[in-house]
Amino acid sequence: MLKVLRTRLQQRHRTLAYPAQKPTLPDRLRGRPIVDQQKCPPDCRLCANACPTDAITRDQTGVKLDLGRCLFCTECEQACPQGAIRYTQEYQLGTRTRDDLVMKGNTLRLAQALDDKARRLFGRSLKLRQVSAGGCNACEADVNVLNTVVFDLGRFGIQFVASPRHADGLLITGPVTKNMRLALTKTYDAVPAPKIVIAVGACAISGGPFIDHPEVYNGADSTVPVDLYVPGCPPHPLTILDALLRLLGRREEQCR
């Protein structure tokens, strides 16, 4: 018993202080990409041609980047000889609408909180049923990490439950394959109203690398209404956590 107590004292407190304190992020983290429009020649399409999911487009106003399609693979960064596009360590990426994920310039309208009535219902106790609608298990793994002692999702009143009948909403990963669409629909219908839906990862938002494949439906909002979009391939656990807290109004700072 004494050895156990000594080991626990040596380990100290392991839960992140986030959101009270800014987290320490790994150097290799690929966060929100930014584009220097002044470095980007008007007739250049090298970054767009290199993108495997057509997340990059351009018009008269310049380059547009769809974070809902982006795999954060850095192919665009490597293809640009001018260095006009680069990935930052900005992990806050969740939005309330699909259109907000399309970056025009370098601004991103982060998720705003639910309305007052919904916050009274879900703000202090949110139960989610996770549905893998054909995912590769990367997003699922990072969602599971939120339950560890480091992130301790339960301290915010957010928990995953086994039955949709016990849930307040769904957290969906994967591109929604033909084999999973009926299961997703039945699971959504089993959640009592009012309910919320969260799409996590590029697959659940747009189909990801499988976009427009005949066996997938290009994301969750093809089948059910979505209230929160969390981009990434997969998104960092902090990205998911930050988006959830913003949805519940647990982040006090203004969305940028």
113: DSSP letter: P
**Model confidence pLDDT, tens digit, residues 126-159:** 999 999 999 999 999 999 999 999 999 999 999 9
Q: Does the residue 140 lie in any domain?
A: yes
Q: Are 134 and 64 members of one domain?
A: no
Going by C-alpha positions, the residue among 69, 81, 61 that lies closest to residue 33 is 69
- pLDDT for residue 71 is more than 70: yes
* Domain CATH for 43: 3.30.70.3270
Helix (H) or strand (E) holding 172: strand 169-173
* pLDDT at residue 255 in the model: 39
| 8 Å CB contact between 91 and 238 | yes
- Tell me: do 55 and 138 sit in the same domain: no
Residue 79 predicted with pLDDT over 60:
yes
- Comparing 18-27, 90-99, 125-134, 141-150, the range with the smallest average pLDDT is 18-27
65 lies in the same domain as 135: no
Who has greater pLDDT, 251 or 223?
223
| Phi and psi torsions of 197, nearest 5° | -130, 135
* Domain enclosing residue 177, as ranges: 116-247
Pair (186, 229) in one structural domain: yes
d(CA 135, CA 227): 20
- Residues 241, 246, 248, 253, Cα dihedral to 10°: 130
Q: Cα–Cα distance between 50 and 58 in angstroms, integer? A: 14
On whether both 40 and 140 belong to a single domain, the answer is: no
Kindly state the helix (H) or strand (E) to which residue 33 belongs, with its residue range: strand 33-35
Q: Which of 60 and 245 is assigned the larger pLDDT?
A: 245
The pLDDT assigned to 252 comes to: 56
Nearest to 168 by CA among 202, 198, 136, 133: 198
C-alpha to C-alpha distance for 203 and 196, rounded to whole angstroms: 19
pLDDT at 12: 63
Torsion over CA: 106, 204, 75, 63 (sign):
negative
Taking 70 as the threshold, does the pLDDT of residue 74 lie above it? Answer: yes
What is the overall mean pLDDT for the chain?
A: 92
Percentage of the chain lying above the pLDDT 70 cut: 95
Q: How many domains does the chain have?
A: 2
Same domain, yes or no: 80 and 141: no
**173 in a structural domain:** yes
| pLDDT tops 50 at residue 187 | yes
Whether 25 maps to a domain, the answer reads: no
- Average pLDDT estimate for 189-217: 96
The domain that holds 158 is classified in CATH as 3.40.50.12280
User: First and final CA of the chain: distance in angstroms?
Assistant: 49
**How far are the Cα atoms of 9, 79, 187, 197, 237 from residue 231, in angstroms, in the given order?**
38, 22, 23, 14, 11
pLDDT of 256 above 70:
no
Q: Which pLDDT does position 13 carry in this prediction?
A: 63
Q: Residue 37 has what pLDDT? A: 87
Q: Is the same domain home to 237 and 120?
A: yes
Q: Is residue 84 domain-shared with residue 172, that is, in the same domain?
A: no
| 243 and 122 within one domain | yes
pLDDT of 253 reads 44
